[in-house]
Amino acid sequence: MEKRTEQQAAVMEVIIQKAEQFVQQQLEHDHSGHDWWHIDRVRKLSLKIAAQEGADSFICELAALLHDVADEKLNDSKQAGLDKVEQWLRLHVSDSGVITHVMTIIATMSYNGGQNPPMETLEGQVVQDADRLDALGAIGIARTFMYAGSKGTMMHHPDKDFSQHDYRATGKSAIYHFYEKLLKLKDLMNTAYAKEMAAVRHQWMEMYLEQFYREWNADDQ
C-alpha cells in the first residue's frame, strides 16, 4: 500500500468527514436495517479487515461509507443510486482513480442472489466481506427482522414452499431469508480474516434457528 504524505492524509480525512455527513443525511429516515449504524459497523469492520489484509484503508473506508447510498432497495433504481454516489464523489474527490475504484466496488458488492461477478481488488473484497459480516450473527438476526418489519413481511410461514421464488421476491418470510442468503454468506467470504469472523457469526445463527423452531413448535421444555 502506497505511503501518503501528511497533506494527502489531511485531505483524505476531510473527504471522510464530508462522506459521513452526506451518508447520515441520506439514510436518516431508514428503518430497514440500512441506517447510519449499519454503515458505521461496516466501516469499522472494513478498517479492521483492511489492517489485517494490507488493503488501502482510505478506499475501504470511503466505499464502506457510501455503499448503501447507492443500494437499489433505497433508490428508484440501481443506476439512480450509483449516479447519486458518483455525483457526490466528483464534487469532493479530485483523484479519478479513487472515484473509479470506489464506484466499481459499490456497483459490484450487492449479493444479488449470489450472481454478481467476483470483486477484482483487495479493497473491494474487504468492503464486501464487511457488509456481509454485518448480515451475520446477532446483528444479522436483528437486521433481518428489522427489514421484515419495515416491509410488512411475515416472521415465519412453516407450510408455504418458497423454493420456486426468485431472490427477494415478495411473500417470503423473515426466517426464509436465512436460507436464501444469510446461511450462504460464510462460504462467500473473500479474505482469510473475514472467514474466521464469519464462522463464529454463522454458528450463532444456527443456534438461534434451532431455538426458534423449538419455541415455534412449543418444544422448548
Set of cell numbers at residue 102 = 470506489
Distance CA 69, CA 151 (A): 19
CB proximity list for 51: less than 8 A, separation 6 or greater: 57
Task: Tell me the CATH number at 68.
Answer: 1.10.3210.50
pLDDT in tens, 109-139: 887 666 678 899 999 999 999 999 999 999 9
User: Are 130 and 49 within 8 A, CB to CB?
Assistant: yes
Give the three-state DSSP class for 120: coil
Distance CA 197, CA 140 (A): 13
**pTM of the entire structure?**
0.91
For the chain, the helix, strand and coil percentages under 3-state DSSP, each to the nearest 5: 70, 0, 30
Other C-beta atoms closer than 10 Å to the C-beta of 218 total 7
User: Does 60 map to a domain?
Assistant: yes
User: Does 94 map to a domain?
Assistant: yes
User: Does 1 map to a domain?
Assistant: no
Range of the domain at 129: 6-216
pLDDT in tens, 3-57: 788 898 999 999 999 999 999 999 999 999 999 999 999 999 999 999 999 999 9
Set of cell numbers at residue 216 = 415455534
User: Does 221 map to a domain?
Assistant: no
Domain count, the chain: 1
